[in-house]
Structure formats: structure tokens, C-alpha cells
């Protein structure tokens, strides 16, 4: 918002691209930003270009009471020439405008070069088609290449940012919520900070709820073969991580699996993970916790859920949830690794962050500053004491020696749900540290 406000204060022309996956908060951001400004806001739909032009003219009539009509590019020229004050024009779901008239970017570029660049206009092009924006607008072959003033790609909130939605939740409850719906603001708002986690979970898995049907709804909107994508995501939720395994289980031609995974990466549902320091082997992991949860539980339990046995399904979820949550906890620790460095918990500057594995060996997280320092991190969602910790540290040190990633200075961190000994604070003089949820809670509550 601050970046947009700074551009608005300028008396010069600005072209801004705002994009990100669906439900991420683009429309809310721009609606708030456009409030109390001389603005025209068009939300494009998949309709013929003539209808879009008519709708744009109606928005101008509503906002400025001016009788302009005709082609959108020509109308933008006319209104910016006529209105003697700064104007904000927002075209949301811009990809549908180009779909209706693929000459639009070229014609807009010519108008910017000849006229708009000298006018007091802020033009925002917004959309949820990530590949369209990155290839068709931001790419060097785009007619609008070099014309943009600013680009904002909106992403889901990270774990520390969701606390404001649930101020009364403890850290374990916050982790549980994050494991179910991730950081998508629209999903977080569907839950209630005054309800218990179990009550919110019931709301998510009840077939009549918004979040129960959201995952299939998004896939049907975004992909051409939803059944294939369902199979792929289901197999990843079952623990299949290699593309060949996923192709086999999902009954997809191994030569075609790459294109499906590419799109799921673009939609920020899956991510290809490589062992730190190496290009292969590649593993497929969920990037989006809502889809991870949906394909782990509601999708597998849909017969129970849709025949009225919600409580039975809920009991199964709660009984197995700790195992599910352990994977999310690993991701959260990786996510907050830079914060752990800033607070002195991790002593290695986080130039490189990632997992490492080889055959049957794996290290949950490695933080490196190449040539200087490496911190090897193990994450355990359980209750541990000193004896358990000593064993884990010995195992990690043994594995670390085989990674090829050790540095002149090596550190070892164990992050656990609950450490049974009273002294859980990290000791800077030690090369081994142990922290638990209680410590993390204090760290995350402190001003960032």
C-alpha cells in the first residue's frame, strides 16, 4: 500500500503491474487504495471485447459523469485529456482484456509513448494469471516491456503474519491453523479467532462450507484437466515425492508430468525442492498448506464427509494430525530461519537455506554462508529430553560430515515441540543449541 501511495503522490505517469494467485488479496488491496481517489475500477470478465468496452464506459459515467464510449484505449486517452486532475485507472483480471483483444497491449504501448507518459495518470493492470503477467507483460518481448514504473507480486502471508487473525491462540494452535489453511488471507478470514481450533477445523471439513469446495473449485478454474491434477496432488499428499513416482501413481505419461508440475509450481501449490548444493535429485513438496491439507484429508475422507459422518472424519484427522503437523513445522522453521539468525539463535548468515538428502540420509534444514559458517538443523514435533537430544545431535553431526557442506565453523540446532528440561534458552558459547515452542513463542511475540 505504501509503495502505491508514493506513486500516487507523484505528478508523473505511472504504470503498475499487480499480480498473484487467486484469493491472495489483490482486489482488497486495490479497493482500499482506490478509496477517496478519482478512480475508475474495471473488473474484466471472459466476455467479448465490445462488452468490456461498454462496461468501462459505464464505470467512467459512474465515476466522472462523462459520456465517453468506444474502445478502452481510446477512452483512456479521452478522459485523461479531459479531466484536469490526477486519475487512477485500475483494470483487474487484465488477462481477460488481452484474451478478448490481443492487440490491446500494443495499442496501449503506443498511447503511453505518444501521450500518456506526459499525463497525470496512474494506471494499474492487475490479474491472477501469473504466467500471463510474467511472460506476456514482464517479458522482454512484451509491447509494454520497459514502460512499467513498478511491479507488485502478492504472495500468501508467512507464518508470523497470521497471528493478527488469531490473537488469543497459542503457538501450537497457530501452527495448526497454518497447517490447515496456510497464509491465504481469504481463507484465514473464513475461520474465527473466537472459536477453538477443533471448531474451526470442523468448519473447514463440513461439506457445506466454503473451504471444503475451494480446492476443487480453483483447480477447475485454473487447469484444463482437473482429474489429472487431482491424481497428481493426491499422490504427493500420500508421500510420493519424485516425478517418476507421481507419474506412476497418477497414471500420467512420464514424458508429460513436467508440464503438469510446471503449472502447479506456477500456481504456487507445489514446489520442486533440490538438496542444498546439488541440482538432483528433485523432490515435489506442497508449497500451499491449504492444498496439502485438502488432499491429505477432505479428499481422502470425502465419502465419510459427504454421507454425514463428519464427526468420525474429524476424529480421524485429529488422531493423525500430529504426524501431518510435523511436516508443516519443518517448513515453518525454514521460513523463519532469517529471523532466527537476526535474533542470534542461528549464528550462520542465511545466504543459502535448504534441505539435504542422499539415499536414506536426510537433514531437515541447512543454513549456510559458503566458506564461513554452516548450521545444521533438525526439527522434531515431539517431547524430548537431554538424552534424546544427545542422540539426535550425534546423528546430525555424523550426517553433516557426509554432506560436503561443512564449513570452517559448524553449528547444530535442534528445534522441538517441547524440551522437558527447564533450560531451553540457546547458549551462544555452545555449538549445539536446543529451542522449543515456548522459546519460539517469545521470539515471535517480540517486535520484528
Please, which contacts does 152-155 make with residues 24 or more away whose CB atoms are closer than 8 Å? 152/3, 152/4, 152/16, 152/17, 152/18, 152/19, 153/19, 153/20, 154/18, 154/19, 154/20, 154/24, 154/25, 154/26, 154/29, 155/20, 155/24, 155/268
pLDDT-above-90 percentage for the chain: 84
What confidence score (pLDDT) does residue 422 get?
A: 56
Instruction: Tell me the pLDDT band of 423, cut-offs 50, 70 and 90.
Output: low
Cα 112 to chain centroid, rounded = 33
What confidence score (pLDDT) does residue 430 get?
A: 66
Yes or no: is domain 336-445 CATH 2.40.160?
no
Residues 116 and 153: their CA atoms lie apart, in Å, by: 24
Residue 331: name the closest of 115, 168, 448, 175 by CA.
Answer: 175
What confidence score (pLDDT) does residue 223 get?
A: 87
CA torsion angle for 220, 221, 224, 228 (degrees, to 10)?
-30
What confidence score (pLDDT) does residue 337 get?
A: 97
Give the range among 359-368, 397-406, 439-448 with minimum mean pLDDT: 439-448
Instruction: Tell me the pLDDT band of 428, cut-offs 50, 70 and 90.
Output: very low
Arithmetic mean of pLDDT, 85-90: 94
Residues 172 and 151: their CA atoms lie apart, in Å, by: 36
How many residues are present in the chain? 448
How many CA atoms lie within 13 Å of 243's alpha carbon, on the beta-carbon side? 19
Predicted confidence (pLDDT) per residue in 259-294, tens digit? 999 999 989 999 999 999 888 899 999 999 999 999
Task: Decide if 447 contacts 428 (C-beta within 8 A).
Answer: no
Arithmetic mean of pLDDT, 135-162: 92
Question: Given a cut of 70, is residue 427 above it in pLDDT?
Answer: no
What confidence score (pLDDT) does residue 63 get?
A: 87
Predicted confidence (pLDDT) per residue in 108-141, tens digit? 999 999 999 999 999 999 998 888 898 889 888 8
What confidence score (pLDDT) does residue 429 get?
A: 47
Average pLDDT value over all residues in the chain: 93
Q: List the chain domain ranges.
A: 2-153, 160-333, 336-445
Residues 359 and 31: their CA atoms lie apart, in Å, by: 51
Arithmetic mean of pLDDT, 398-417: 95
Arithmetic mean of pLDDT, 60-69: 88
Predicted confidence (pLDDT) per residue in 298-315, tens digit? 999 999 999 999 999 999
What confidence score (pLDDT) does residue 426 get?
A: 47
Phi-psi region of 268 (alpha: psi -120 to 50; beta: other; left: phi over 0): left
Predicted confidence (pLDDT) per residue in 214-268, tens digit? 999 999 988 889 999 999 999 999 999 999 999 999 999 999 999 999 999 989 9
CB-based contacts of 186, cutoff 8 Å, min separation 6: 23, 24, 25
Instruction: Tell me the pLDDT band of 42, cut-offs 50, 70 and 90.
Output: very high
Task: Decide if 352 contacts 368 (C-beta within 8 A).
Answer: yes
Superfamily of domain covering 2-153: P-loop containing nucleotide triphosphate hydrolases (3.40.50.300)
| CATH among 1.10.260.40, 1.10.10.10, 3.40.50.970, 3.40.50.2300 for 160-333 | 1.10.10.10
Predicted confidence (pLDDT) per residue in 335-392, tens digit? 999 999 999 999 999 999 999 999 889 999 999 999 999 999 999 999 998 899 999 9
Instruction: Tell me the pLDDT band of 142, cut-offs 50, 70 and 90.
Output: very high
Predicted confidence (pLDDT) per residue in 312-329, tens digit? 999 999 999 999 999 999
Residues 92 and 78: their CA atoms lie apart, in Å, by: 20
What confidence score (pLDDT) does residue 446 get?
A: 73
Amino acid at each position: 500500500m505504501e509503495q502505491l501511495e508514493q506513486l500516487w503522490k507523484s505528478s508523473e505517469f505511472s504504470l503498475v503491474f499487480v499480480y498473484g494467485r487467486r484469493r491472495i488479496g489483490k482486489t482488497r488491496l486495490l479497493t482500499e487504495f482506490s478509496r477517496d481517489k478519482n478512480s475508475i475500477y474495471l473488473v474484466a470478465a471472459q466476455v467479448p471485447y465490445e462488452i468490456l468496452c461498454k462496461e468501462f464506459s459505464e464505470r467512467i459515467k459512474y465515476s466522472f459523469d462523462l459520456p465517453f464510449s468506444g474502445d478502452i484505449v481510446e477512452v483512456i486517452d479521452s478522459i485523461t485529456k479531459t479531466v484536469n486532475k490526477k486519475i487512477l485507472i485500475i483494470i483487474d483480471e487484465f488477462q481477460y482484456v488481452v484474451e478478448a483483444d490481443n492487440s490491446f497491449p500494443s495499442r496501449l504501448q503506443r498511447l503511453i509513448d505518444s501521450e500518456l507518459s506526459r499525463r497525470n495518470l496512474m494506471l494499474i493492470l492487475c490479474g491472477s494469471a501469473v504466467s500471463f503477467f510474467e511472460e506476456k507483460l514482464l517479458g522482454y518481448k512484451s509491447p509494454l516491456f520497459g514502460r512499467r514504473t513498478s511491479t507488485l507480486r502478492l504472495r500468501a502471508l508467512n507464518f508470523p503474519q497470521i497471528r493478527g487473525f488469531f490473537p488469543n491462540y497459542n503457538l501450537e494452535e497457530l501452527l495448526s491453523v497454518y497447517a490447515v489453511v496456510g497464509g491465504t488471507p481469504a481463507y484465514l478470514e473464513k475461520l474465527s479467532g473466537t472459536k477453538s481450533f477443533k471448531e474451526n477445523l470442523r468448519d473447514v471439513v463440513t461439506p457445506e462450507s466454503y473451504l471444503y469446495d475451494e480446492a476443487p473449485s480453483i483447480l477447475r478454474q485454473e487447469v484444463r484437466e482437473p482429474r489429472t491434477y487431482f491424481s497428481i496432488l493426491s499422490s504427493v499428499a500420500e508421500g510420493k515425492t519424485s516425478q517418476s513416482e507421481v507419474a506412476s501413481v497418477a497414471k500420467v505419461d512420464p514424458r508429460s508430468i513436467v508440464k503438469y508440475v510446471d503449472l502447479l509450481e506456477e500456481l504456487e501449490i507445489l514446489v520442486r525442492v533440490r538438496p542444498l548444493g546439488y541440482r538432483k535429485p528433485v523432490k515435489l513438496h506442497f508449497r500451499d498448506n491449504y492444498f496439502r491439507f485438502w488432499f491429505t484429508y477432505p479428499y481422502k475422507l470425502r465419502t465419510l464427509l459427504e454421507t454425514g459422518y463428519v464427526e468420525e472424519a474429524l476424529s480421524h484427522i485429529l488422531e493423525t494430525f500430529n504426524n501431518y503437523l510435523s511436516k508443516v513445522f519443518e517448513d515453518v522453521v525454514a521460513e523463519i530461519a532469517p529471523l532466527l539468525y537476526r535474533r542470534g539463535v542461528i549464528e550462520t548468515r542465511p545466504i543459502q537455506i535448504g534441505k539435504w538428502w542422499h539415499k536414506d540420509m536426510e537433514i531437515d534444514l541447512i543454513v549456510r554462508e559458503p566458506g564461513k559458517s554452516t548450521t545444521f538443523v533438525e526439527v522434531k514435533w515431539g517431547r524430548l529430553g537431554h538424552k534424546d537430544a544427545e542422540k539426535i545431535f550425534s546423528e546430525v553431526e555424523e550426517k553433516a560430515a557426509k554432506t560436503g557442506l561443512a564449513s570452517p565453523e559448524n553449528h547444530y540446532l535442534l528445534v522441538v515441540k517441547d524440551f522437558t528440561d527447564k533450560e531451553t534458552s540457546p547458549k551462544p558459547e555452545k555449538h549445539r543449541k536446543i529451542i522449543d515452542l515456548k522459546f519460539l513463542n517469545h521470539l515471535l511475540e517480540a517486535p520484528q
